[in-house]
Structure 1
């Protein structure tokens, strides 16, 4: 209960503290709203991307944001990425150890990629300082692979854990979670939520088990399609074991994640941050995703907009 107290307390007055800031952008104009605190980041990988404020495809209001990536990477460069991501402005980022709610609506353009490839549509990360050593994956990410949508959580590598049930990769005994151990990067990635189309082939992506991360999946994640999906996420990372993530889709409670969430390595920054938009390893075609109704708040009701839905996680 104490963990979520800040999310359900009375709304604080807006001030200089980033956690208290309530951010909203419906992408209804010709540029980012000053009330949303968002921007399109310019760097080499983002040169593969475009962003368009348009009104032909939208969920609510007068418009929505169209984000696309085109081919930019050489086919032989496995480390190259193509991005069209929207970032929170740096002064508005929330401290890493403080809870906050995020919401956004997303629509995959047709055709939905079906190949075995790295695709991400949204990710939550910790700031990386100049003295940090390593490549740090997002502590929470919305991903797409083989046409299946899923969430993953990442944390520092902790050796050990139960054996998979009957030796079957991706099937873990009660109280443990499917995980991909990556000791060479001091990280491990766990499955946080998947859909009803998740198969044995998909399960093998997370071949081991960990008892350092607990996942309760309340309902299946919506399948990847060209329909609008409205996500609400509670983010409270803690690499020492007290982390918590709540995932909602279309006001349906999808999953609760507790335990080791995020990274605690030397040189990492003091804040968490959210970015959304298509991000992939290099590919030959154009990939487009639409976004609408971004919001961020310390209060659940501002993001889920449903008292009954908020009440289930109190």
Structure 2
């Protein structure tokens, strides 16, 4: 028992995408419904212990569930001292190291999430899930997730990150992109972050950081917005295949509906980066003064779409 909780290692047929129903043959199928007192052996998940994670509380509870007899309740509380400006507060669940997927392979992930009350509505850095590349010991730089699901001012959005590419298209006068994808250039860190999906409440001013445009990342919008954070359980299905050379591919579904297809430069190729990608989920934020709670259920991972996308047909070959 720690910090008041338990920490334990334990589309319609007309819609077709050029994504194989099977991809990335090297990954193992993982499933955890969080119905027991700890992480299941079949899920390959664990809670990583470090200073920032000590802000977290993990509860295997049965009051707020989507399926089965239980779900994870993950909370963070204030932790970071005012003098530590780069400190974050996390309650993230990780894939075990020996079960991670090679960086150049595609893999399907699924998980359900529900925002606890109150839902944060301030202008702050909040993440609920992120996909990253391993960083070898001694590597120079701090690398952002190549894909992340985020919250800002109570609105849900998704971003894709890659190495910095000099702009070749200009922002439209109204603040959007006449062509290309909205992007936040960060040449000082050799990175840039693209805004690829938002919920229906998102306003132009919410994306003020993404004031430039890039053609290095393309987004196909399938006509569905991300669900609102207050809409109850949201079941995400994601296909991830990083490709910093321009071969990257992401598919994002929510509640069985296709949201976006993202292609192009996805992920990082700096010296000292590792050979695998990995997934983390749970509340993660910059230091704050309040408590924040999220619920998670129905985690699954597979090289096969049909193992993960349960609320709609998989994309055709």
Mark yes or no: TM-score above 0.5. yes
> Partner residue of 1:95?
102
Secondary structure of the structure 2 residue equivalent to 1:201? helix
Mapping of residues 85-124 of structure 1, within 5 Å? 85-124=92-131
Q: What CA deviation, in whole Å up to 9, does each residue of 1:39-88 have, x standing for no partner?
A: 00000100000100000000000000000000001235331100000000
Q: Secondary structure at the match of 1:60?
A: coil
What residue in structure 2 maps to residue 188 of structure 1?
A: 192
- Could you tell me the TM-score, scaled by structure 1's length? 0.92
**What is the aligned partner in structure 1 of residue 215 from structure 2?**
211
Where 1:8 maps in the other structure, the secondary structure is coil
Question: 2:206 aligned with 1:199, yes or no?
Answer: no
- 1:295 aligned residue: 300
1:285 to 290, 295, 311: 290
2:46 is the alignment partner of 1:39 = yes
Q: Which has the higher helix share?
A: 1
**2:72 pairs with one of 51, 65, 68:** 65
Determine the structure 2 residue equivalent to 1:251: 256
Paired residue for 2:273, among 268, 272, 285?
268
Residues 111 and 237 in structure 2, CA contact (< 8 A), matched pair in contact too: yes
Q: CA deviation at 1:3?
A: 7.4
Give the Cα–Cα distance (whole angstroms) in 2 for the partners of residues 76 and 113 of structure 1.
Answer: 24
Which TM-score applies when normalising by structure 2? 0.91
Query: 2:8 matched to which residue of 1?
Result: none
Instruction: Report if the CA contact (8 A) 1:301-1:310 is conserved.
Output: yes
Unaligned runs of 5+ in 1: 13-18
Report whether the alignment pairs 1:231 with 2:236: yes
Alpha-carbon offset, residue 161 of structure 1: 2.4
2:46 paired with 1:50: no
SS in 2 for 1:97: coil
What is the CA–CA distance in structure 2 between the aligned matches of 1:127 and 1:133, rounded to whole Å?
A: 13
Which residue in the other structure is 2:34 paired with? 27
Q: CA deviation at 1:153?
A: 0.3
Deviation digits for residues 150-203 of structure 1 (CA, Å, limit 9, x no counterpart): 00000000011211112x33x1123x1000000000000001110111102113
Q: Please say which of residues 67-76 and 293-302 is displaced more in the overlay.
A: 67-76
8 Å contact from structure 2 (residues 133, 274) kept in 1: yes
